[in-house]
Amino acid sequence: MHLARSLTGISLFVAVAAAACGGGTTARSTSYGSPTTTTTTAPAASGQPSAPASPAAPAPGQASIGLGKTALGEFLVDGTGRTVYLFEADMGTTSNCYDRCAKFWPPVTSMGTAVATNGVLASLIGSTARTDGTTQVLYKGHPLYYFTSDKASGDTKGQGLNAFGGGWYVVAAAGDKMDKG
């Protein structure tokens, strides 16, 4: 009896998972040279860059990255509208912000790959393992961070600061730093 219920539950899970994966896009994992770094891509059938991801609700503990807009222009924010930054001192996909640095610039972490929303390209979102065992969100290969002085949605108080050995910048939709501000 338990075996029949287990098999029915597994069949239902597989059917739901297969339906959720429908739509013609396939996710694949690509290494950026480090065995702990992966990026999820959703290639377009035409070979062109994939279209912005449609909004999807993240699972508990899963980050979402979208676009916010202020006087600086459009840049990356998390699911609550909080600004995220890149750190110029990072080496590729490896974070150089730990200990005291991470107290002021906490990493954007996620349980699983972050969800792309509001005009962000899913193909640019990835993740990397941190030395503390957490998974940090990447965008176009840049580890992402918050700034502790940003208290409200849309705050950009960390923009252009130079601290802990490098510059901190909000991130444009294309994945590059924004020099404005």
Please state the separation of Cα 104 from the chain's center in Å. Answer: 19
The boundaries of the domain holding residue 121 are 25-43+62-170
Whether pLDDT at 46 is above 60: no
Task: Give pLDDT tens digits for 120-170.
Answer: 999 999 999 999 999 999 999 999 999 999 999 999 999 999 999 999 999
> Does 180 reside within a domain?
no
8 A C-beta contact, residue 41 and residue 95: no
> Does 76 reside within a domain?
yes
Per-residue confidence band for 6, with pLDDT thresholds at 50, 70 and 90: very low
> Does 10 reside within a domain?
no
Average pLDDT of every residue of the chain = 76
pLDDT higher for 181 or 29?
Answer: 181
Per-residue confidence band for 118, with pLDDT thresholds at 50, 70 and 90: confident
pTM over 0.75: no
Per-residue confidence band for 111, with pLDDT thresholds at 50, 70 and 90: very high
Looking at the structure of the chain, the number of domains it has is 1
Mean pLDDT, to the nearest integer, of 103-130? 94
CB neighbour list of residue 120: distance below 8 Å, 6 or more residues apart: 52, 53, 65, 66, 67, 76, 139, 173
Per-residue confidence band for 97, with pLDDT thresholds at 50, 70 and 90: very high
pLDDT higher for 10 or 151?
Answer: 151
Whether pLDDT at 100 is above 60: yes
> Does 51 reside within a domain?
no
Whether pLDDT at 56 is above 90: no
Lateral strand order in the sheet of 85-87:
85-87, 166-170, 162-163
> Does 161 reside within a domain?
yes
Task: Give pLDDT tens digits for 59-84.
Answer: 778 999 999 998 889 999 999 999 99
pLDDT higher for 46 or 119?
Answer: 119
DSSP string, the chain: -HHHHHHHHHHHHHHHHHHHT-SS---EEEE-SSTTEEEEE---TTSSPPPPPPP-PPPTT--EEEEEEETTEEEEEETTS-B-EEETT-BTTB----THHHHHSPBPB-SSSPEE-TT--GGGEEEEE-TTS-EEEEETTEE-B--TT--STT--TTTT-EETTEEEEEB-TTSPBP---
**For position 7, what pLDDT does the model report?**
36
> Does 163 reside within a domain?
yes
> Does 3 reside within a domain?
no
Whether pLDDT at 2 is above 60: no
> Does 1 reside within a domain?
no
**For position 70, what pLDDT does the model report?**
87
